[in-house]
Amino acid sequence: MAPTLKAKGKSTTTRSRTSATRPNAPPKTGDPGDWREETLTRMRGLILEADPEMIEERKWRKASNNMAGVPVWSHDGIVCTGETYRNSVKLTFARGASIPDPTGLFNSSLEGNTRRAIDIHQGEKVDARAFKALVKAAVAQNATPAKK
């Protein structure tokens, strides 16, 4: 049984509104069937389920992988980005430090004052309900002005 994460450059942009019923093509890492691609695709689906009005853009094309750019999901500001690394998929929430995380999904970038991230390693599954709650909280946080 797979472990579960639960309680405890130049910018090239293709911009479109997405919905759970008509999603854009999922981000590609370059290797069909690669666990990172599958993980990022699953998390993308959860993001769109949490907020069907989410805008998805591709920015910051990286020479280190075959992605068409880093997926950036936004609604009234950046909600999160998704990146693939050799050993993990990283979902970074732009204002994550301001978002309540009662189930402890954030497990990376915990020392900063602004961002928080979730690193997902091969074989790990993320608690879908808790993750969607984080996305909804991030959207709500974006609706309020940032403190200066």
Cα angle 58-64-65, degrees, rounded to a multiple of 5:
55
- Whether this prediction's pTM lies above 0.85 is answered by no
- pLDDT tens readout for residues 1-25: 444 454 343 333 334 443 333 344 4
Yes or no: domain 35-143 corresponds to CATH 3.90.1150:
yes
Whole-number mean pLDDT of the chain? 81
Q: What are the structural domain ranges in the chain?
A: 35-143
Residue 114 CB contacts under 8 Å (≥ 6 apart), including other chains: 94, 95, 96, 97, 98
